[in-house]
Amino acid sequence: MKYPEEIIQRVRDAADIVALVGDYVPLKKAGSSYKGLCPFHSEKTPSFVVSPSRNSFHCFGCGKGGNAITFLMEMEKIPFPEALQLLAEKTGIPLPKPQETERDLEAERERDRMFALQEFAGKFFYDQLTTPGGRKAVEYLKARKITGETAKKFQIGYAPDTWDALKKAALKAKFDEKELLKGGLLVQNDEKGRNYDKFRDRVIFPVRNNFGKIIAFGGRALGEGPGPKYLNSPETPLFKKGECLYLLDQARDAIRREGHVLVVEGYFDAVTLHQNDIQHVVATLGTALTKEHARQLKRYTQEVVLLYDADQAGQDAAVRGFEPLLSEALRVRVLTLPDAKDPDEYLMKHSREELIFLLKGAPEFFRWRAAGLREKAKGRPVEELIRSVQSLASFLLRVPDEASVQAACAAIEGELGLDNFDMRAIVNAERKSGSRVGPAERQAPVSKVAPLLPGREVEGEFLALLVADRAEYVKWAVQSVSPDLFIEEDLKVLFSNLIQGSMDAATARMAPALEPFFMQIEAQPDKFQPKKTLITQLYATLEMRHRKRQMILVKEELGAAEKAGEISKAAELAGRFVELKNQYHEMNHLKSEPHE
Ligand SMILES: [Zn+2]
């Protein structure tokens, strides 16, 4: 699918990048640009910069950068055309019909058909509630205190107790069996070679993507039959279980508003909470929390409250869920409900206000965990308890800020109430032994994208400052600065063009290679003043580096010449080396400076 370049340009230029990014990341003004915590990697201090004047963003931690369209692609995990369409809608610029190839059209048609099929199935299941066969599902929902209004809002439905009700209806609506199989709605029976409905005699919950489109279903068995209590759609081109959170599309605004998200385990838990006007709730789809889940939640909040089943399985799941949340640097609290096995049951017995009260007091993860371990170790030797609590130290080492570590240690000590138990000391010991084992493993890799190398940074900042405003600096550079000072090939070419006059400063300012450096300068204007001094310093650094490199090269040549017995060449090189070395040491300050 292709759009004319000038339209893409217009949409990109019309986009308000600060407002767009600000929808996902809290931003603070810094100089003429904005700063925030990077949504693409875990960090505690902001290195993510948005520049309204350049209409772009850049992260100095992980290297991600781009414009409004690429931001949407990354954030929403959507292809270019969809991001462009979304942005065009926001900016009010009408898009012309895209120039599409036959293959684009085919792929798009197929995707549209897949969404249409899920939509069709969702409506089919919902409509079953008004048929005689669906009456038992209605009774079941009533017994679980789900109102008709809620069923309608979430399109909760019923899959009839037959082998082929959906199949028949879908074929009649001109879908074919291949599509039904691919969409996860039919199951292949190898023995008889016949395909039958995947969901039978179940209450059905449609699962939607972030744009509210149905992508999968979850089904709860009505009776206590032989099949599993819960059944989900298999993974399809539209649905990846480990990436999807039930009701996230409905909960986003509430999550932002409340400042945290509640994660529950079951469809009924999530729906019941929403029905009780607690809307910042999502559910995992019968899987443990994944890193991808954590990343998605991080787009809306910094804090997660786990509200899992009160039984051992639920509590174990909360412990497992902590790991991916921690690796995304999210704060975690855990709420264990008294006298109910899950939130759904709790709300049958108690009021919404009671639940909110408990929620406010939900302990931070480490306090909760210490209490759990103490409970478990009741009546057993105290050493056992201490050993189990020690295992928390490795998690504490990964908490990014020291204040939180201190608070967690104090909470653990308070929870255990043991004399002379010093959690802080245990963490410090663990840190030491860990650093002996392998410091490389312990340091969380910031990113796979290569961050700016120190060399590149010097070259780029130098070049950006040269072309930033005064033409005099470029004039000075033409006379005094050699392109040989640059190692980075793209920056070297840029500089050569500049001093040869084949590119002017204004054009150089727009060069994508200089983009991150300009953003750096805009974000910290004070650090880059006065410009003249800075240019001088950077120039000195480049000159020194250049000499040093030459020294290394000459030394290598010298070694080779000596080995080969080329005596006169070796003597010449040795002389050259001494010369360079003297120059290098004499270069305490630079002779040539740009003049105003
Ligand atoms: Zn980043």
Q: DSSP letter string over 514-564?
A: GHHHHHHHHH-GGGG-SHHHHHHHHHHHHHHHHHHHHHHHHHHHHHHHHHT
- State the pLDDT at residue 439: 36
Return residues with CB closer than 5 A to ligand 1 (ion).
38, 40-41, 59, 61-62
User: Ligand 1: distance of its center to the CA of 452 in Å?
Assistant: 12
Cα of 48 vs centre of ligand 1, distance in Å, is 6
| Residue 103 identity | R
CA-wise closest residue to 448 among 61, 50, 56: 61
Could you tell me the distance, in angstroms and rounded to a whole number, from the CA of residue 38 to the centre of ligand 1? 5
Instruction: Give the distance (Å) from ligand 1 centre to CA of residue 465.
Output: 24
Whole-number pLDDT of residue 435: 52
As a CATH number, domain 5-91 is 3.90.580.10
Residue pair 337/310 in contact by the 8 Å Cβ criterion: yes
105-239 in CATH: which number?
A: 3.90.980.10
Q: Compute the distance from residue 292 Cα to the ligand 1 centre, in Å.
A: 16
Report d(CA 48, CA 234) in Å as an integer.
Answer: 37
pLDDT at 436: 44
CA of 19 to the centre of ligand 1 (A): 19
Gap from CA of 268 to ligand 1 centroid (Å)? 36
SS3 246: strand
pLDDT of residue 130: 95
Contact 177, 171 (CB under 8 A): yes
What are the counts of helices (DSSP H) followed by strands (DSSP E) for the chain? 28, 16
Long-range contacts of 483-491 (CB under 8 A, 24+ apart): 484/546, 485/459, 485/542, 485/543, 485/545, 485/546, 486/459, 486/542, 487/455, 487/459, 487/549, 488/455, 488/456, 488/459, 488/460, 491/456, 491/459, 491/460, 491/463
Task: Output the CA 519–ligand 1 centroid distance in Å.
Answer: 14
Q: Is the dihedral of CA 447, 449, 454, 458 positive or negative?
A: negative
Domain 243-304+322-331+340-356 top-level CATH class? alpha beta
Q: Which residue has the tokens 């000072």?
A: 485
The sheet with strand 230-232 has its strands ordered as 157-159, 202-208, 214-221, 230-232
Structure token digits, residue 377: 């170790």
Ligand 1 center from residue 493 Cα (angstroms): 28
| CA 37 to ligand 1 centroid distance, Å | 8
Tokens of 240: 């990846």
Rounded to the nearest angstrom, the gap between the alpha carbon of residue 139 and the centroid of all alpha carbons in its chain is 42
- Helix crossing, 382-390 with 423-437: angle to 10°? 50
What does the DSSP assignment read for 283-333? EE-SS---HHHHHHHHTT-SEEEE---SSHHHHHHHHHHHHHHHHTT-EEE
Q: What is the SS3 assignment for 15? A: coil
Token pair 């050569």: residue: 496
| CA 26 to centroid of ligand 1, rounded, Å | 14
Residue written as token pair 């007091």? 361
Q: Quote the ligand 1 centre to 43 CA distance (angstroms).
A: 8
Q: How far is the CA of 62 from the centre of ligand 1 (A)?
A: 4
Measure 41 CA to ligand 1 centroid, in angstroms. 5
293 CA from centroid of ligand 1 (Å):
18
> 467 CA distance to ligand 1 centroid (A)?
27
Q: Looking only at Cα atoms, what is the longest distance across the chain?
A: 105
d(CA 264, CA 269): 6
Backbone angles phi, psi at 157, to 5 degrees: -135, -160
pTM listed for this prediction: 0.64
CA of 328 to the centre of ligand 1 (A): 12
Comparing CA positions, the residue from 429, 430, 368 lying closest to residue 394 is 430
542 Cα: distance to centroid of ligand 1 (angstroms): 28
Tell me, in angstroms, the distance from the centre of ligand 1 to residue 327's CA.
Answer: 14
Each residue's pLDDT, cut to its tens digit, for the chain (596 residues) gives 678 888 888 888 888 899 899 888 888 888 888 899 998 888 888 889 998 888 889 988 888 889 999 999 988 888 888 899 989 988 888 888 776 677 777 887 888 899 999 999 999 999 999 999 999 999 999 999 999 999 999 999 999 999 999 999 999 999 999 999 999 999 987 777 789 999 999 999 999 988 889 999 999 999 777 788 899 999 998 998 888 999 999 998 899 889 899 999 999 999 999 999 999 999 998 788 998 899 889 888 889 999 998 888 888 899 999 989 988 888 999 999 888 888 989 998 999 999 999 999 999 999 999 999 998 888 888 888 888 888 898 888 888 778 888 889 999 999 888 888 889 888 888 887 765 443 333 333 332 223 334 578 889 989 998 888 767 888 888 888 988 889 888 898 889 888 888 888 888 887 778 888 888 787 777 777 778 888 888 888 888 888 878 888 888 888 888 888 888 888 888 888 888 888 777 775 444 455 54
Please state the domain extents for the chain. 5-91, 105-239, 243-304+322-331+340-356, 368-442, 454-586
The DSSP code for 450 is: P
